[in-house]
């Protein structure tokens, strides 16, 4: 962990120094782009003023998601809260009317960029609860493997799988990685491998027998 922190710190300092040496507006530098990208994480409403050309669409991206998520949640909880709208429902209908009310562009995206919102829309609170349970079980599994890896380096590989799983699970809350087969199929295979590795006998299990 210390090595990772040191590498990140040196990298940020190097990018900042390089940006300061450039003969152009600092607001258009890579360092400022990184700064605005970090700031945008807490800009839930997407109302921030982004000046760098690399991050100028950050606010719009945040509003895009927030409006879509709100519409799907409201439509589902109003019309079919328990079992959802079904897999044939158009989850873009309300979103397009609000976000692209005056646009004639062909909108091709069909997933709200959040696996929880998609699950809520398709399968209602029943599916949402099941998915929440999967995340909870995975969190317990990861904690168990992490404790074992601290005492036995042999479990480092199992911890690597757990970390990779969480990269996808967290990304799925902000993107479409699990809302299509391209990411979902590899993920569920990887999740199976991670769970298999996590159920292997651990030192704590042996001591308690």
Same domain, residue pair 44 and 103: no
Q: What is the pLDDT of residues 72-116, one digit of tens each?
A: 999 999 999 999 999 989 998 888 888 777 766 677 778 899 999
Tell me, yes or no, whether 35 lies in a domain: yes
Which pLDDT band holds residue 209 (cuts at 50, 70, 90)? very low
Same domain, residue pair 115 and 170: yes
57 pLDDT higher than 50: yes
Percent of the chain with pLDDT over 90: 31
DSSP, residue by residue, 55-119: TTTHHHHHHHHHHHHHHHHHHHHHH-TTT-S-TTS-TTHHHHHHHSTT--------S-S-HHHHH
Residue carrying structure tokens 């929880």 = 116
Same domain, residue pair 63 and 144: yes
The Cα–Cα gap between 57 and 50 comes to: 8
Same domain, residue pair 128 and 191: yes
| Mean pLDDT calculated for residue range 150-177 | 87
Tell me, yes or no, whether 207 lies in a domain: no
The Cα–Cα gap between 128 and 115 comes to: 9
- At 117 the pLDDT is 95
Same domain, residue pair 142 and 89: yes
Q: Which two tokens stand for residue 116?
A: 């929880």
Sign of the alpha-carbon dihedral angle for 107, 95, 171, 187: negative
Range of the domain at 35: 1-54
Question: What is residue 178's DSSP assignment?
Answer: T
181 pLDDT higher than 60: yes
Lowest-confidence region among 31-35, 157-161, 171-175, 193-197: 31-35
More confident residue, 156 or 178: 178
Which pLDDT band holds residue 121 (cuts at 50, 70, 90)? very high
Same domain, residue pair 88 and 38: no
- At 20 the pLDDT is 64
Tell me, yes or no, whether 206 lies in a domain: no
Give the total number of structural domains in the chain: 2
- At 207 the pLDDT is 46
136 pLDDT higher than 80: yes
- The whole-model pTM stands at 0.75
Residue carrying structure tokens 């970090």 = 38
| Residue 164 burial (10 A CB sphere; 0-12, 13-18, 19+) | middle
- At 170 the pLDDT is 94
Q: Please report, for residues 84, 172, 183, the alpha-carbon distance to residue 176 in angstroms, rounded to integers and kept in the order given.
A: 19, 6, 8
Which pLDDT band holds residue 65 (cuts at 50, 70, 90)? confident
- At 105 the pLDDT is 66
186 pLDDT higher than 50: yes
- At 24 the pLDDT is 66
| Mean pLDDT calculated for residue range 26-48 | 71
Domain final position from 54, 74, 97:
54
36 pLDDT higher than 50: yes
């Amino acid at each position: 962990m210390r090595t990772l922190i040191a590498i990140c710190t040196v990298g940020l300092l190097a990018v900042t120094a390089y940006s300061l040496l450039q003969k152009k507006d600092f607001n258009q530098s890579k360092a400022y782009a990184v700064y605005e990208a970090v700031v945008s994480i807490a800009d839930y409403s997407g109302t921030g003023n982004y000046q760098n050309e690399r991050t100028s669409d950050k606010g719009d991206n945040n509003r895009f998601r927030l409006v879509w998520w709100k519409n799907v949640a409201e439509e589902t909880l109003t019309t079919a809260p328990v079992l959802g709208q079904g897999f044939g429902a158009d989850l873009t209908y309300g979103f397009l009317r609000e976000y692209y009310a005056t646009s004639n562009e062909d909108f091709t995206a069909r997933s709200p960029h959040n696996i929880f919102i998609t699950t809520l829309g398709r399968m209602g609170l029943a599916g949402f609860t099941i998915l929440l349970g999967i995340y909870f079980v995975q969190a317990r599994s990861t904690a168990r493997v992490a404790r074992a890896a601290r005492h036995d380096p042999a479990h480092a590989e199992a911890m690597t799988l757990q970390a990779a799983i969480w990269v996808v699970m967290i990304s799925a809350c902000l993107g479409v990685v699990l809302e299509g087969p391209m990411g979902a199929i590899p993920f569920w295979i990887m999740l199976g491998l991670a769970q298999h590795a996590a159920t292997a006998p651990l030192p704590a299990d042996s001591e308690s027998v």
